[in-house]
Each structure stands twice: as structure tokens, then as C-alpha cells.
Amino acid sequence: MPYALGALAALLYVAGYPAGLGLWPLSCIALVPLLWALERFELGPRAALRVGMLFSVVAQLSGYAFLPETLLRFSGMPWVACWLAHLALCIVQGGGAALWLCALGWLRARGKSALACAPPLWVAQELLWPSVFEAPLGAAVHDAPVLAQVAELGGVALVSLLLASISASVAALLLGLARPAGPRRARPVAALGAIAVVVAASGARLASVERELQHARTLRVGLVQASLGAEEKRRDPDRYAERYVQLSRAIAEPVDLLIWPETALARPVPASVPAMGDAHPSLDRVQAPLLTGAVTYEAGRLHNSALLFGAERQRLDRVDKHKLLPFAEVIPLGDRFPQLYDWIPGAGHFTPGRGAPVLELGSTKLAIFICYEDMLPATVRQAALAGAELLVSLSNDAWFGESRAAYTHFAAARLRAIELRRTLVRATNTGVTAVVDPTGRVSPHTLAPEHVAATRVAEVALLEGQTPYARFGGGIATAVMLAWLALALLTSPRGPTRAEAA
């Protein structure tokens, strides 16, 4: 029975996440079956570890079902090797959640309240356990802004803490109902009441930010999504660039900035290219300032870059991608062991960028993120501290095919807009192309359908000032977690065992 509950929790987790069905309310109760199994079956550390590992592996394999095909396209490795790599990655990434349940079993065996300790320890494993693809629980409610507004205080970690506390409170309430009547039921009811107060305050803050947006300075941007396959880009990079030019010229409205996605200029160009026409001849027909992804080279090294060209077609500046994707853009230890590139022939060999990824267009500072960098809270926060007024993400998720992986990427990135109260503009090759305002909402007219050639024009708001998360990073969330854990360990009694209940 505990293993069945572990599998049920995994299915709830995935169904609530964008990679699954996107039914975000399920993410609020996804941990309930695990906590019920822990308490009702009095799982010790070892049993809890086994149930937790089952939960983790099922959730990871289901949530990242797209990965073997992506690895096959990216790496060039045999199909069997891609599946083995997928399995290994899922086991490793799921280790944090398994250790979380194991720790709760250990605490329970020592007379502490596992339910009270569960929320802060869940967030701790999200923050500390290494992961290639960051998918915190809090990102599941990207489409429920009233729950996500606490990200302004402590980032997505605080949103995860809110959701984990809902699961723990519901589990405690159900356990109390299953036991003889007593004061034990009052605790989860009080906890759910406190959560309701937090959600109400979040709703009030949401309304406040909406009022600020009505008076904000704006920038008019044009987004271009060509929807060309990864293989097509490799075969004919010049046609790839020309397609972006054609779509851009079809935009009838004047814009302050055109934005093309990651590696829209797929044929490598010099990093110091002086003008649009030198990057690609067809760019001379572009009639607006342009920000485009490009593969650049300098001193024999390749970079995944973003190039900014001004109204006179001159190059203003460039930034290079800082966080390279392992095994896709760089092989870990590949410089020390070059033979690894022979074993994985499809892997890139790029060099990471340095410095703040901030470009200036007139009086506006743009923070530029390439590919999955917009999923990394600390990376985006550093750019905001450098004075960026607009967050711009350039991505190419064509490698994910028709799966929901691209939408999962988008969902995780949306929290950055709330954390920093900055508009997030995303230009992608196949989707998801959209504008996310500082409340985390997406304007329907800015959302381009996936896998369809499309353009979008939008007035984007430029807010100023710094949020608590921008100033303190994860400090507030960490302080709340530590205080919560200390209080739980010192004051929360453990629930009765089955023998005591009898």
C-alpha cells in the first residue's frame, strides 16, 4: 500500500505540472499521499527512502518523457544509450525527494512531527539537491498568480513552501479525521486558515501591482517565431535567417525593437561583426532595431550569443550565454578529456560568457537570457541588480518536438517576472513566444501558438525599483524555512502510532 501511495503522489505531481496535464490545483495536494503513507504505515527511514525513490523515479520518468528523443537529436548517441542516460538522470534528480521522505521517517522515529517538518525540508531539498532541469513545485502554479505573488518576497522557493504547507495541512487534517476526535484536528485547521490569510494578502498585492502597470513607461516590441525544425536549421542556416527577415518585414506596425530567438543566425559570425548586413546580407532589409540570437566566434572559440543592432543597423553590443547546457553545448570535463567529444559527436563545444548579461537600447536596459537561463532564479536576479528594466529570453525549444517540455520551460520562467517585478519577453523558434507582465500574467494577444510561424507586437511595461527578492535573494525564504523547522522540532508533537490510537 505505501508504494501505491508513492505512485499516486507521482501521478498527482506530474498531472499538476505543465509537463503533464497542467492541472495546477493537483500540485497543492501532490505530497498528501506520501505524508499519509508515512504516518499511517509508520514508515521508518529505510522504508520511507524506498517509497520516496519510487515516487521520484515515476515522477521524473513521466515528467521528462521527452528526454530520450531530445538526447538522440542533440548528442548523436545510440538510442539505447539515450534511454540509459535518461534513466540515470531521473534517478539522480529524484534523489532529493527520496531523501526528503527518508529524513521525515527518521524524525518521526525520534518522536518529532514529520508533518510539521515536511514543508521546510521539501524546499531545502529543492534548493540543495543538484538538478540539470530545475522544476520546483512552486512553478506548477505559474497560471495561478494569486498563489505565486509571494515569489516577490522569497522567490519560487517561497511558493514551493506555500504549496508544500497546503499538502502537509491537508494530510494532517485527513489523518485527524481518521483518528478518534481530539484537539489534533485544530492544528491543520489553523494552518489552513493561516494559508488563506497569505493567499488573501497575495491577492491584494496583485491588485496593487496592476495599478502600478497602468502608469509605467512602455517599450513597443515585435516578436518573431519562424517555427523551423532543428534539422532544417542545420541543413540550411541561410534560409533560416531569411525566414526571420520575411516575417519581420510582414509586421506592419512600427516597433522600438524586433526580437528574434536563440541562434536565429545559425551560421557563425564574428563576435565583433560591425553591422546587420555583415552578419547576414538579408538583414539589410530589416527596418527596426534588432536583438537576435546568433552563433558567434572569437579567437577560435564559439559562443551562443545575442547581438543588438541599432536603428542605423550598427551593432551596439553583444552578450554570450553564461550557463551552457551540459552535453548539448559543452561536455563536462571535455577540455580535460577531449575524447569525450568523440564519444558524443552531436555535442557542441561552446565557451560561456562573462559579466552581467545586460545591453542598452537608448535609455532602456535589457537583461538577456539564452535558452534555459530564464529558468535560473539567481542568474536572472543578478541581471536585475545590474539595473535591467526588461527581461528578454531568447530560446529554441524545437529539440523537444511536440512534447509539453517547451511549455514547462515557459512555466518555470514565468516566475522570474513576479520575483523581480519586471516584464519578461520571450522570443522562441517554435514556442512558447509570449509577454509575461510583472504580475505573472500572460496577455492572450501576445501568446503565439506553438509550432506555427507567427509574429506578435506588444507594448511592454518597464517598472523600476527592487523587490525584496531582488535585494536579499533567497535570504527571506531561508530565514522562514529555518525558523519554521526550528519551531517544528521544538514544539510540534508527533502524531500517535497505530498502537497508541488503538
Residue type, 220: R
Grid cell locating 192: 489552513
3-class SS at 350? strand
Going residue by residue through the chain, which has 502 residues, state the pLDDT in tens, using 9 for 90 and above. Answer: 899 999 999 999 989 987 667 889 999 999 999 999 999 899 999 999 999 999 998 988 888 877 787 777 666 677 888 888 888 888 888 899 999 999 999 999 988 899 999 999 999 999 998 877 777 899 999 888 899 999 999 999 999 999 999 999 999 888 887 766 544 566 777 777 888 888 888 889 999 999 999 999 999 999 999 988 766 666 777 778 889 999 999 998 899 999 999 989 988 899 899 999 888 888 888 889 999 999 999 888 889 999 999 988 899 999 999 887 766 677 666 666 666 666 665 566 788 888 889 999 998 999 999 988 999 898 899 888 888 999 999 998 877 777 777 888 898 899 999 999 999 999 999 979 999 999 999 988 999 998 899 999 999 999 988 999 999 998 999 999 999 999 988 876 554 444 433 3
Q: Is the dihedral of CA 135, 141, 147, 152 positive or negative?
A: positive
Residues 291, 257: contact at Cβ < 8 Å?
yes
Measure the CA–CA gap between 321 and 76, rounded to whole angstroms: 23
Residues 455, 207: contact at Cβ < 8 Å?
no
Query: pTM (2 decimals)?
Result: 0.88
State the fold for domain 217-462: Nitrilase/N-carbamoyl-D-aminoacid amidohydrolase (3.60.110)
Residue given cell 526588461 in the structure block? 390
Grid cell locating 410: 515557459
> Distance from CA of residue 450 to its chain's centroid?
18
> How many beta carbons lie within 10 A of that of residue 463, not counting itself?
20
Residues 439, 145: contact at Cβ < 8 Å?
yes
Measure the CA–CA gap between 173 and 29, rounded to whole angstroms: 12
* Domain residue limits, the chain: 2-212+473-501, 217-462
